[in-house]
Structures are given as structure tokens and as C-alpha cells.
Structure 1
Amino acid sequence: MTAVVFGSLPFPGQSGDRVVSKAVSAAIAALFKRTGKIEANLRAEPLAKLLQGSVDGFDFIGNGMLMYNGLRIEAMELYVQAVSLDFSAIFSGQVKLRQPTQASMRVVLTEEDLTTSFNTPFVVEKLQQLQYQEQPLYFQNTQMILNEDKSLRIKTQIRVGEASDPIEIDVTSYLQVEERRKLQFVNVTHQGDKDAIALGQALIDHVNNLLDLDKFALDGTQLRVDRVRVQNKQIIFYGIAQIDRFPQSKRR
């Protein structure tokens, strides 16, 4: 029976787990504007369990993933021990969970990813929600630098209101996780004159209020971080992804 069902599907000559893996990989890729290599591997023993949507394990590995808001992820790994899928939805290009599931995750952001992200309209718009001395702020040339001592350096130029010349901001800090979902810049040091220091302090306070993972998670998911490592010009997050429902693709 299993052979008959899978033999009629659009991946002839492949085992059922590979058929479903390819379908899930395509559905995940559709969540992003652009991706590099993406691979999802499902395991089910016996294979007939797939017909009931039961999967013993699910591993996802992807890299070069560009989100629709412009944020880029160098690498993402998700490892699920067991999951129950709506099998009938797989081959219409959808992934539907019969019940919520949880996955361990590893997410890698490079220095370049961080710099690019802080210059996207999505993030710049959020930064410009900050008003300083009742004046709007205009950001340009923001740069994120990951130092060998595991600190992060933020350099940016901010024009306050109608001022013609921007203020140069140069801030160094360390990254800390609070409540498993809030990323915070701590132990902050500032460079520059008193105006640069005052504006830099206001900026860090504002950014710390923004960096709540619940504001950035894909629809139907919740991210919790247990550990952060800064090394080799990368930030690596280790934690848990709670997946209540599979996010919907934004592709048309």
C-alpha cells in the first residue's frame, strides 16, 4: 500500500521519507525571499507511519536565508524529535501540524549579516521611532563589528532633526540574554564628546527595548535562547523553537 501511494507522487523512484523531505524543504524555502542550500530530513520507521503523518525525527539545515524584511541568516538548524503532520497537505505545497511541537535550534549571524540588517528599512524604521530632544533621528552608515574579546561595536552616523551634520556614534558592549527572549547590550562604553555619549546612551536604551525575539519570530513560532556565543566574526544562538503552526509563505 505504501509503495502504491508514493509511486504515484511526483518523485518517482524515491523512498517515502525522501519524498516528504523534499516537499517540506520546498515549503520552508518558500518562507524566505531567497535561500542558499536548504535540506529537511524526516525519519519514520516503519515507513507506513508517514501515511498517518507520524514522523520519528525531523532535522532541518539551511544557510544563506534572506527574510522578506531584509534580515539575513547565515545558518539555521532545527532538530525535532517527533512531529505529527497532516499528510494530505504535504503535496499541495503546505505543511500543517496536527499539534504544536518543539525543536532545538542553532542560528548563526555573521558580522556582515548584522551590518546589513541594521541598514535595512525594516530596522531603520524601528530605530527612527526614537526621538531625541523631541527631534526625529536619521540614521546612516551603521556598522556592526564583532571583536576578538567577544564584544560588539556599533558605529553609526545620526542626524538630529534639521541639523546638517550627523553625530558620530561609537559604542562598544557585550550581548546578554534576559528571560530567554530579550537580547540586551550591557557593559556599554561610549566614545566621543558629551553629545555623542548622550545620544549613544539613548540609542542603546531604545535598541534594548526593541530586541525582543517575539517581535521578530515567524508567525506561529516562538523563540527562546539559552546561550549566545560570539566567535570568529559570528554570533551563534542556541535555544528552543516552539512551533504552534507552520508559518505561511509570503511568496505569490
Structure 2
Amino acid sequence: MFGGFTGFKPPSNQTDFGEQMLNSVLSQSIRHLFTESENVDVSLKCFPSSKLLQGSIDSFKMSGRGLLIRREFWVEEMWFETDAVSIDFGSVLSGKIRLKQAAQAVAKVILTEAGINKAFQSELVKPRMENITESSLMDLSGGEPVAFSDVELKLLPENQIRILAKASLPNGIVPISLTATIGIERRRRILFQNPQFSAEGIPEAQRGVSELLTNAFAQILNNMVDLDRFNLDGVTMRLNRLDTEGDKLIFSGYAEVTHFPRQG
């Protein structure tokens, strides 16, 4: 019955058996959060170990690397550790994990510059940058919808970023460029604060319209990045802080785990 559990080893006693079995089921359940994963490690703490038989766990920790979420969003690293967890131990016997109540966890997520730029090309993000009909843009396009493409983000020190993109107008393509400070609103939205137009690399004849398009694009970005659109099955993330470090964007916060995933 239990031979199919990944990493399962013959138990030395009843509580070792329960711990090994639960570790195996936890690992399989966590892996189902991701479309792909390079590495996922799960461990649990329980003392005395006999509490496992009542479904009580002091905490469990997950660390992963090279994670693909919803088939399109790459996460370089993810780590979280819960507080005390209460589970239905009977569900483990069928190879599943069922929580008796939601679990809270501290969390850390690391994205790379390359992963962020891939996300701008995803089918979830691209439609939000096409057929835009905001009045500030329609005045520039003669009433026609505007689309933004070829977005390239560069991470800079002290939470600064630089973004290059192209805006499609009826009379041609206009390059845009901006710098901004990234911040957090209500622990779930990423804001592009104090956007500044950068004229470097923009043809002089296009700088006036490019600056107007840049300001409008910054507002579109502010309405786009909401963590609730990217939550994992059963896991809600909230942010306390973010930091840029080289080519990495590091988020620290917490997560609420309400149930373990039903599918990858």
C-alpha cells in the first residue's frame, strides 16, 4: 500500500513509520503546486514524534528551486515554514493531506530578472497590455486601442528598476523607457513608484509622445501585478518587504495554507 511513496524506507518503529510516510506524502503534495520543479525538499518537526498519530505537527518546512507556476511563471527559489499544523492523519493513509484548519507560514520567494521578463511574455500577462483604451492613450492614438510589447525589465540597486518597451500606435511604433522604485501596497500589490521618463535611446522626434506613453504605461503596470492573480492552489501569499540584489528580486512575507493542492 505504501511502496509507491517517494523516498519511503522501512520503519524502525511506529512513529518513525508515521514520520517517513507523512514526509513522503507532503513532498508529493508540495510538488503538485508546480508545473515543473528542479528540486523540492520538505521536512517536518514533531516532538515528541508520537503526536503524529494524533495529526499534530510542530511545523513543516519546504524549500524549492527552479519552480514553474501555472506553466508560465518561473521562480528561482521559494521557501516557507509553517507554525503548528493539525492534519487528519487518516487522509495520509490514502496518500493525501487534509488540514483540520488553515496553517500560517513565513515565506521567501526569489525571482530572477530573466524569469520576470519571461512572465511579461506569458499568456496571462500579454493580454493586459493589448487593446488598451484608456482616455490618456486614445488621445495619442486617434481613438484607436494601444498595445505595449517587447517589455524588458532591468533590476537596479536599492529597489530601482529600468523598463524598456514598445508602444504600437496607428502611425507606427514608439519606444518607451522609464525608471521607477518598486514597492508594496496592502501586502499584495507591486507598485512602480515615482516613474521617471528616460530620454536616453529615444529618437528626439519621438520623445514628446514617448514620455506621455511612458507615464501611461507605468499606471498600467501598477494595476497589473496583484499576487491574488498568481496564488498557488490552497496557498495565499502576502508580502512584508522586497529587495533587489543583483539580478534577483527577493520577496519576504507570509503565506496561509488552507488546503493541499488537488492538481499541479
Name the TM-score, length of structure 1 as normaliser.
Answer: 0.88
Shift of 1:91: 4.7
Letter in 2 for 1:9: F
Shift of 1:130: 3.0
Letter in 2 for 1:211: V
Shift of 1:220: 3.3
Q: Does 1:121 align with 2:114?
A: no
- In structure 1, the residue matched to 2:230 is 216
- In structure 1, the residue matched to 2:203 is none
Are the aligned partners of 1:18 and 1:42 in contact in 2 as well (CA < 8 Å)?
Answer: no
Q: Does 1:147 align with 2:140?
A: no
Letter in 1 for 2:255: A
Q: Distance in 2 between matches of 1:154 and 1:93?
A: 46
- In structure 2, the residue matched to 1:22 is 24
Partner SS state of residue 174, structure 1:
strand
Are the aligned partners of 1:148 and 1:231 in contact in 2 as well (CA < 8 Å)?
Answer: yes
Q: Does 1:178 align with 2:185?
A: yes
- Residues 68/47 of structure 1: CA separation in 2 closer, same or farther (3 Å cut): same
Residues 70-99 of structure 1: per-residue CA shift (max 9 Å, x gap): 011111110112111222323544322110
Are the aligned partners of 1:24 and 1:95 in contact in 2 as well (CA < 8 Å)?
Answer: yes
Partner SS state of residue 259, structure 2:
coil
Q: Tell me whether 90-99 or 66-75 shows the greater mean CA deviation.
A: 90-99
- In structure 2, the residue matched to 1:240 is 254
Q: Distance in 1 between matches of 2:124 and 2:247?
A: 23
Over the aligned positions, Cα root-mean-square deviation in angstroms equals 1.9
Residues 123-146 of structure 1: per-residue CA shift (max 9 Å, x gap): 111222632314333343221101
Are the aligned partners of 1:111 and 1:234 in contact in 2 as well (CA < 8 Å)?
Answer: yes
- Residues 40/127 of structure 1: CA separation in 2 closer, same or farther (3 Å cut): same
Q: Does 1:156 align with 2:165?
A: yes
Structural mapping, 1:1-252, within 5 Å: 9-10=2-3, 11-14=8-11, 15=16, 16-128=18-130, 130-131=132-133, 132-133=137-138, 134-160=143-169, 162-163=170-171, 165-192=172-199, 193-250=207-264
Letter in 2 for 1:12: K
Q: Tell me whether 240-249 or 87-96 shows the greater mean CA deviation.
A: 87-96
Letter in 1 for 2:179: T
Shift of 1:207: 1.4
Larger Rg computed on CA atoms: 2
- Residues 24/227 of structure 1: CA separation in 2 closer, same or farther (3 Å cut): same
Name the TM-score, length of structure 2 as normaliser.
Answer: 0.84
- In structure 2, the residue matched to 1:3 is none
Q: Distance in 2 between matches of 1:91 and 1:171?
A: 55
Q: Distance in 1 between matches of 2:217 and 2:95?
A: 43
The percent of aligned pairs where both chains have the same amino acid is 29
Gaps of 5+ in 2: 200-206
- Residues 194/24 of structure 1: CA separation in 2 closer, same or farther (3 Å cut): same
Are the aligned partners of 1:75 and 1:108 in contact in 2 as well (CA < 8 Å)?
Answer: yes
Aligned residues: 241
